[in-house]
Structure 1
Amino acid sequence: MSIRSQHPASADQIFRALVALKAEPVLDPELRPDGPQEEDRLRLLGSLLAKVELEITAATRLDEGEEADDVAHTLTGWMEQAGPTALEVNVLLNRLQRTALHLIGPGRRGDPPVGRSAAAAAVVTAAGMLSAHLAFEGGETDKTRRALGSTESPIIAILEGMHALRVAIGDAEE
């Protein structure tokens, strides 16, 4: 399924939103004398997403014993925008993929720490299971099988990561 916004925001609109939030990235005036260009759109969207996620995180930080009303209000606002459609599930899949990539730390040298790697595998597992569920609901048996098959490796990585952390704290033998 191809997903396109009915009214996509331009790079300039996204940049103006970032300016309003006091989070605009610095653009090299020699490379961008006319301001942001359409090829900057995804980078700007990523910046806007980060700013919004940081604002939500700061506003919904829960201490032990607090109610989760703030998180529920945020989710309500999200649902009002996304709606209960196939697009909502695709947004969730996209978020899971970004989270997994973020956990392993793109651009870092060497292997990610075992705990982060296992956490990324858990997110990949969640995305795989969601994909399998969607394929199953769509009656796509072969696609369901492939999604389930690709979910087995991250489950093994989760278990290996859990074991490695247990060994590291002395709760298990290597």
Structure 2
Amino acid sequence: MSIGSDHPAGADRIYAALVALGAEPVLDPELWPQGPQEGDRLRLLGVLLAKTELEITAATRLGEDEQFEDIADVVLGWTEQVGSSGIASNVLVNRLQRTAVQLMDGGEEKTAAGQVASGAAVVAAADVLSAHLQFEHGDVERTRRALDRTEASVIAVLEGMHEVRVAIGDVEE
């Protein structure tokens, strides 16, 4: 099972999509005299992903009227593009890993316990799904390593939850 495209979008096409969405990053002409280069591809994809996620979030905010149908439409569109195979699971693991990195990098001197616990919960979800995929492929050793990482993450979730409980006075330190 591979993840790929017969016609992967190059940096120039991704940049053009960002221009069309009004979200292109400013490229200093001295640093990029030829415009976006293939080495910029992942960064540009990250910008495109952020723009897409911001648009989806603005369109599907759950409030008192909770528009789950809107989220279902987004998931339907995603599934139509990705499918529901093992590739979809790999994409989800990748998304969970990116989310965990973003949660754990609070940009502050010390990341809040609840934020760390949330990141650990996302890591646990990614590792359990990864363990499942490894098991389906018959790789017991990789399954075992993914489960070991999951257990470590679950411990971190519980520790973070405890820290938050201490902070609000529910339990003693």
Common fold: TM-score over 0.5: yes
The amino acid that maps onto 2:47 is S
Contact 2:59 2:70 in 1 (8 A): yes
Deviations 1:80-131 (A, max 9, x none): 110122211111011000000000126x253311111000000000001001
Which residue in 2 is equivalent to 1:12?
Answer: 12
TM superposition shift of 1:4:
2.4
Q: Secondary structure at the match of 2:23?
A: coil
Q: Which moved more, 1:47-56 or 1:32-41?
A: 32-41
Residue of structure 2 equivalent to 1:27: 27
Match of 2:172 in 1: 173
Shift of 1:6: 2.1
What's the secondary structure of 1:7's corresponding residue?
A: coil
Question: Equivalents in 2 of 1:118, 1:5: separation in Å?
Answer: 36
Q: State the partner residue of 1:125.
A: 124
For 1:77 and 1:2, how far apart are their aligned partners in 2? 21
**Structure 1, unaligned stretches of length 5 or more?**
none
Show CA shifts across 1:120-171 (max 9, x none): 0000000010011111112222221111111111111100000000000000
Q: What pairs up with 1:52-71 in 2 under 5 angstroms?
A: 52-71=52-71
Aligned-partner Cα distance in 2 for 1:156–1:173: 18
Alpha-carbon displacement from aligned partner over 1:33-65 (angstroms, at most 9, x marks no partner): 121011010000000000000000000001124
Is the contact between residue 61 and residue 67 of structure 2 (CA under 8 Å) also seen in structure 1?
no
Q: Could you tell me how far apart the structure 2 residues matched to 1:164 and 1:148 are? A: 24
Query: Structure 2: 5+ residue runs without aligned partners?
Result: none
1:55-79 Cα offsets, whole Å, 9 max, x none, are 0000000112423000000000000
Letter in 2 for 1:157: A
Give the letter aligned to residue 18 of structure 2.
L
* Superposed CA RMSD: 1.3
Aligned to 1:40: 40
- TM-score (ref. length: structure 2): 0.95
Using the aligned pairs only, state the percent identity: 62
Please identify runs of 4+ aligned residues in structure 1 that moved more than 6 A.
Answer: none
Q: Distance in 2 between matches of 1:68 and 1:12?
A: 36
Q: Take 1:2 and 1:81, find their aligned partners in 2: how far apart are those partners?
A: 15
Partner residue in 2 for 1:83: 83
